[in-house]
Structure 1
Amino acid sequence: MSRTIAPSPGRHRREIAVVLVLSLAAMVVSMMQTLVVPILGLIGTSLGSSAAEVSWVTTATLLSAAVFTPLLGRLGDQHGKKPTLIAVLVVMIAGSVLAATTDSLLWLIVGRVLQGAATAIFPLALSVLREEVSAHRLPGAMSLVSGTLAFGSGFALVTTGLLTRGENADYHPVFWMAAGLALVTLVAVVLLVPASRTKTGGRTDILGALTLGLFLVLLLLPISQGHEWGWTSARTLGSFAGAVVMAGVWAFTENRVREPLVDMKMFLHRPVLFSNLAGLFVGFGMFAQFLGISYLAQIPQDIAGYGFGASVLRASVEYLLPSTIASLVVSQFGGLLIRRIGPRLTLALSAVIGTTGFAWLAAAHSSTPSVIGAAMAVGTAISLGYAAMPALIVAGVPPHQTGVANGINSISRSVGSSIGSALITTLLASRTIENLPAGVPPLPAESQFTLSFTIAGAAFAFVLAIALLGLKRQRQAPRAEHRPAAEPAPEPAAATAAA
């Protein structure tokens, strides 16, 4: 009679160490995306640059992530996750140190380009988890690592506010903090993450990487700069048209390469395609929450008749930190939900909570407890959504495509975040309060916040439709085809039970 071989205590401890290290790495990744949001004005003042010029500090990171994430995810699958992780962290440290030591906008942007490569850490981390963590622990491990993405984004806003408070604020310590965290993560990866035992090898699809990168640059550039360029300007419309053309060129290229960067059959596979669509809307909702609540909290109530007159630091700590903590706490239970009800229904639950949270914000954003409560609901939804999407992808793709598939999903979330940032900024600037006192800068009408939160709620409603109608019911949890070599090979019955 067959029996299930229990994992050894030593292996269990190794798995815990790997999950904690990769959770730290994922947190550092997400911090890079929101780190500079509260200090763009400070950077512009310090460097004597305009708002349009300083906006490239965020755009550069976004474009770098779009170009390098799928390529590095594929390189990790081909040549080993650990060396690729180490290389990306070294590049990120170099970019952080450059940003921390320069007083030139050009070199600061170069540093942010190097930091953008860190986005590839997340899909690489998921690939490591699939290889190193037992099947029954894999959903929980992926949930925890994914949940730290939402936590890191909010944590970056809080720490940036703390480091730049006071009259003599300086942006350089923010990047020193980023360099320090990246260095700690690098040491932890070197010491605690095992070397990859499975490498697919093969050629790197450089042409596919170039065409995909150009498509994403042409798509994201007008989204991030459209507010400055004008949404109907020749540059904006021309970039969008170029993106459409390059999408066709990329698809044509990948269908004719023996070893494509992105297998188009995998890309169009139902779980992958709809998980990427869900990532687009969840990324949109995350930035709609961060920007909408941050701006709302800083609106001076005595002048506008609404808002809370908070400083950047208070807005981050009082209004956004509870949501960040909620997302981290919920990530502990995401794996349990995925095992109990499956990633599809977990994504649906995320959508219901997110829609409810934004409806709450749209209807009742005049009191601090109401805003904080609604923000915590949205943070919960984002954490569950981030946990469900990798589980859906891992269940739907073979092991050698885990890195690139999750890399594309990371890009879909980045695109959604960019659209959210651009749309919220445009909406808040499109209708302002009339008859403000002299010397007061334009302030958005309260109705624009209501509209912004309503649109974000609709985005989560689309996620619900994707989960219930787009994704097929799955009978099994995500697979873990690659087991650590240290564990004895299970008997057939035990293997079946673990699957």
Structure 2
Amino acid sequence: MTANVQPGGEPTARQANGVPPDSAPDSGPSGTKTLIALSAAVFGYALMQTVVVPALRLLERELDTTPTWSAWILSAFLLSSAVLTPLLGRLGDLYGKRQVMIAVLIAYAVGMVAASASQNIGQLIAARVIQGAALSVVPLSMAILREALPRERLPFAMGLVSGIVGAGAGAGLVIGGLLADYLSWRYLFVLGALLAVISLLLVLRWVRASRHTATGGLDIPGAVLLGLSLVAVLLALTQGPSWGWTSVPVLGLFVLGVLLFAVLMAVERRKSDALIDVSELTDRPMTVTHLAALLFGAASYFFYLGMPLFAQQQPGSGGVGFGASVTMAGLLMLPGMLAIIPASMAVGRIATAYGPRWPLAGGFVLFTVGSVLLASAHAAEWEHLVFYAIVGAGSGLIMGALPKLIADIVPLTRTGTANGINNIARTGGSVIGSQLAAAVMASSVVSRAAGVPDSAFTTLFWLGAVAAVLGVVISPLAVRRAAATTAPNAPQPAEQGLQR
């Protein structure tokens, strides 16, 4: 491909930073409208990621199903997200992010309408599988922003979108509780359909088609192998509590997932248009960035599941719980969720002032502090409000740092794919965290009347602290030595690429 240059023969500033000249912002120098459209799409996905959590017991009753089947309302969404996200990210890199984003939003709206009209648990689970495609709006948005915005605005924009992912998930807990308490569970999905349609209209109007695409074709064998390996591992994680962690089916699924992934690596090494770039996975900063996402996903779910259950539990003889409504349980987490957005938006300024490794490390430090405080004291409502706000601030820094680190590592044409894999890592961590949380609570319950003891919640919060400490330890390894030792106030390269 011949690079366009200025009349004098020198590349433009945007070209020098790895941004193609034909990817100028679609709405003036700031690209504000593009950012608004993408933020709306990401918020719609993030909200619906957790909005069903407060209504799970209601759905179980309304659809006359068992706890095992109702758990698949979440599991089906997570499995579908993990399988479809890297494939859709690669399609965006190959054929245009805007086109794929439009197709995803249409599918998402269809899945929401189908869910709202579901008459049984099977239909609802099938609709949730369709909805799982929406996770890809996050990596697609990161890739679009990297092309559409000037370099100086990119950290702020990526931080904002990352913050919306976390804040939207928290808002979903509150809104889901309100709709479950005062209306019908069907309105959860009606709301999702409306948000999908609004996002679709904004993307159609304000996001310009990408002219900078990757070469090569779609790696179907790689997509199939990756999808099967993810399904095997995630299915083992989701079914472990009910089938038994040492049962033959669960162990067999783990082994199958590992074997399929090994075959995938062998196949991808020989392909020039591989879905999974093996050199990225073996590159230390990229590997650590994915590991940080997995740890963060696991740590977050210890609180997503533990805190609402504590708040809703009626105080027994031990005085554990607040006896709060579903809505109030969500509101207790709201300050933490609101702290995510400003923290994410601060990532760029922190990296410029102190160096690129500090936003991620600082985020895990704050997450650790908040987790330790909650593990030590959580008997009062104000402790939940204040201490989880610290966890939320740490979460915002982590969520804003991850896409920025990826943008510093991979070429522009693999932004969607690489962010998709990072989101898979976080999704996998979410499954691990949710299943560990379920196992801790299930193993500690003596009787249904007694409820979950305080020791179980304390264990969950300490597990969050342990995961965050591991994040602190590995965070410095997510940045190349050359980048980490660059003067803090010196301009950082928009992308370094991998040594291939």
How high is the TM-score relative to the length of structure 1?
A: 0.90
The counterpart of 2:359, out of the listed 334, 346, 349, is 346
> Alignment identity in percent?
37
1:119 aligns with 2:132: no
Deviation at 1:288, TM superposition (A): 1.2
The counterpart of 1:217, out of the listed 216, 231, 234, is 231
Deviation at 1:336, TM superposition (A): 1.9
Q: Does the 8 Å contact 2:411/2:495 carry over to 1?
A: no
Aligned to 1:36: 52
In structure 1, the gaps of 5 or more residues are 435-439, 482-499
Q: Does the 8 Å contact 2:301/2:430 carry over to 1?
A: yes
TM-align CA RMSD: 2.0
Report 1:177-216 matches (<5 A): 177-216=191-230
The counterpart of 2:433, out of the listed 420, 428, 432, is 420
Aligned to 1:321: 334
Deviation at 1:29, TM superposition (A): 2.0
1:429 aligns with 2:429: no
In the aligned structure 2, how far is the partner of 1:469 from the partner of 1:212?
A: 26
The counterpart of 1:388, out of the listed 378, 401, 407, is 401
Q: Does the 8 Å contact 2:310/2:321 carry over to 1?
A: yes
Aligned to 1:487: none
Deviation at 1:478, TM superposition (A): 5.4
Match of 1:83, SS state, is helix
Match of 1:11, SS state, is coil
The counterpart of 1:228, out of the listed 242, 251, 256, is 242
In the aligned structure 2, how far is the partner of 1:246 from the partner of 1:8?
A: 41
In the aligned structure 1, how far is the partner of 2:274 from the partner of 2:25?
A: 39
Report 1:31-70 matches (<5 A): 31-70=47-86
Deviation at 1:302, TM superposition (A): 4.0
Deviation at 1:170, TM superposition (A): 2.2
Q: Does the 8 Å contact 2:96/2:210 carry over to 1?
A: yes
Deviation at 1:329, TM superposition (A): 2.9
1:307 aligns with 2:321: yes
The counterpart of 2:289, out of the listed 266, 275, 286, is 275
Q: Does the 8 Å contact 1:282/1:413 carry over to 2?
A: yes
Deviation at 1:258, TM superposition (A): 2.7
Q: Which residue identity is paired with 2:53?
A: V
Aligned to 1:468: 476
Q: Does the 8 Å contact 1:144/1:332 carry over to 2?
A: yes
Deviation at 1:469, TM superposition (A): 4.3
Aligned to 2:28: 11
In structure 2, the gaps of 5 or more residues are 1-9, 15-23
1:90 aligns with 2:103: no
1:477 aligns with 2:485: no
1:448 aligns with 2:456: yes
Q: Which residue identity is paired with 1:110?
A: A
Q: Which residue identity is paired with 2:400?
A: A
Deviation at 1:442, TM superposition (A): 5.0
Match of 1:12, SS state, is coil
Deviations 1:95-138 (A, max 9, x none): 00000111121111111011100001110000001101111111
Q: 1:312 to 1:9 in 2, by over 3 A?
A: closer
Match of 2:28, SS state, is helix
Aligned to 1:491: none
The counterpart of 1:459, out of the listed 463, 467, 474, is 467
Count the aligned residue pairs. Answer: 470
Deviation at 1:20, TM superposition (A): 1.9
Deviations 1:60-113 (A, max 9, x none): 111111111001101100000000000000000000000011112111111101
Q: Does the 8 Å contact 2:81/2:135 carry over to 1?
A: yes
Q: 1:104 to 1:70 in 2, by over 3 A?
A: same
The counterpart of 1:264, out of the listed 272, 275, 278, is 278
Match of 1:164, SS state, is helix
Q: Does the 8 Å contact 1:38/1:161 carry over to 2?
A: yes
In the aligned structure 1, how far is the partner of 2:196 from the partner of 2:25?
A: 31
Deviation at 1:33, TM superposition (A): 2.1
Q: Does the 8 Å contact 1:391/1:478 carry over to 2?
A: no
Q: Does the 8 Å contact 2:303/2:460 carry over to 1?
A: no
Match of 2:214, SS state, is coil
Deviation larger for 296-305 or 279-288: 296-305
Match of 1:232, SS state, is coil
In the aligned structure 2, how far is the partner of 1:470 from the partner of 1:83?
A: 32
In the aligned structure 2, how far is the partner of 1:165 from the partner of 1:260?
A: 48
Q: Which residue identity is paired with 1:451?
A: T
In the aligned structure 2, how far is the partner of 1:255 from the partner of 1:101?
A: 45
Deviations 1:342-386 (A, max 9, x none): 432100000110000000000011111111111111111111101
Q: 1:54 to 1:442 in 2, by over 3 A?
A: farther
Q: Does the 8 Å contact 1:73/1:123 carry over to 2?
A: yes
Deviation at 1:246, TM superposition (A): 0.8
Q: Does the 8 Å contact 1:220/1:418 carry over to 2?
A: yes
Q: Does the 8 Å contact 1:138/1:478 carry over to 2?
A: no
In the aligned structure 2, how far is the partner of 1:304 from the partner of 1:88?
A: 48
Q: Which residue identity is paired with 1:393?
A: I
